[in-house]
Amino acid sequence: MDQAQPTPARHNRLIGKLLLMVAGAFVFAFALVPLYDVLCAATGFNGKTAGPGVIRDGFGIGGLQTAAAPASKVDTGRTVRVEFTGTVMPGLPWDMRPLTISLDIHPGEMQQVSYLVRNTSNRTIVGQAVPSVTPGQAAQHFEKIECFCFSQQTLGPGEAREMPLAFIVKPEVDRSIRHITLSYAFFSVDGQRQTLTSSREAQ
């Protein structure tokens, strides 16, 4: 019995199966991208608010008129403090600040606030705001009815504009949540992505 000679057919079958596993794991990494989005939208995990695609309670997309009649009742028995903040990302020469720092509201009430955004450069720039809600558990109950983040914003040289935001914190939000923070990150749409320069160049 000569076992020393390899049996290539047997090896090749096993190698084929193992390579399939490798390919499967590689595909799995990319499959996690949409899976993760679905998970975040369903649970509010990671501060992703219910976007236009996943609103299930009769609210329209954007626009006040379609959402004029909130379906849920106002819960006057408690208040939630909503705080507003924002960051301008590197590569976008804009200033932004909320005109209302914080607001005590009853869940179910519709509220309107605005941010003041100013272009500090001398050219026309397009930006896009991306919202995030903390804590994550509150995100799925934080519904934006009108928001400057629904579309790209264009500011001319030196132009300043008040950008409005209308929202409801739904009464279903857990009673343990007393504070909600809404944060925006404003990104440049048309500029190149800013890369970190070396310390030498920066100085």
Partner 1 sequence: MSTATTHAAEHPAEHYPGGLMRWLTTTNHKDIGTMYLTFSLIMFFVGGLMILAVRAELFQPGLQLMQPEFFNQLIGVHALVMIFAALMPAATGFANWMLPLMIGAPDMALPRLNNWGFWLLPPAAILLTLPFTLALFGIGDGAIATGWTFYAPLSVQGGMGVDFAILAVHILGISSIMGSINIIVTIFNMRAPGMTMMKLPLFAWGWLITAFLLIATLPVLAGAVTMLLTDRHFGTHFFDAAGGGDPILFQHLFWFFGHPEVYILLLPVWGLMPHVLSTFSRKPAYGYKAQVYSFIAIGLLSVMVWAHHFFTAGMPVPALIYFMFSTMAISLPLAVLFFCWIATMWKGAMTFETPMLFAVGFIVLFGIAGLTGLILADVAADAQYHHSYFVVAHFHYALFAGGIMGVMTGVYYWLPKWTGHMYSEKLGKLHFWLTVISFNLTFLPQFFLGLAGMPRRIPDYALQFAEFNAISTLGAFILGLSQLLFAWNIWCCVRGGQKVDNQVWEGAEGLEWELSSPPPHHSWEIQPVIK
Write down the least CB distance from residue 121 to partner 1, Å: 18
Spatial distance between the Cα atoms of 48 and 37, rounded to a whole number of angstroms: 9
- Cβ nearer to partner 1, comparing 71 with 130: 130
The answer to the question of residue 198 lying near partner 1 (CB under 8 A) is yes
Tokens 């804590």 locate to 135
Helix (H, G, I), strand (E, B) or coil at 12: helix
The answer to the question of residue 72 lying near partner 1 (CB under 8 A) is no
User: Which residues between 128 and 147 bind partner 1 (CB under 8 A)?
Assistant: 128, 130, 132, 134-137
Cross-strand bridge partners of residue 104? 81
What residues have CB less than 8 Å from 108, skipping those under 6 apart? 70, 72, 73, 74, 75, 168, 169, 170, 171
The answer to the question of residue 53 lying near partner 1 (CB under 8 A) is no
Compute how many residues bind partner 1; rule: CB under 8 A: 52
What residues have CB less than 8 Å from 188, skipping those under 6 apart? 89, 91, 92, 125, 126, 127
- Among 44-52, 61-69, 98-106, 153-161, the segment contacting partner 1 (CB under 8 A): 44-52
| Interface positions with partner 1 (CB under 8 A) | 1, 3-4, 6-7, 10-11, 14-15, 18-19, 21-26, 28-30, 32-33, 36-37, 40, 43-48, 89-90, 128, 130, 132, 134-137, 185, 187-189, 193-200
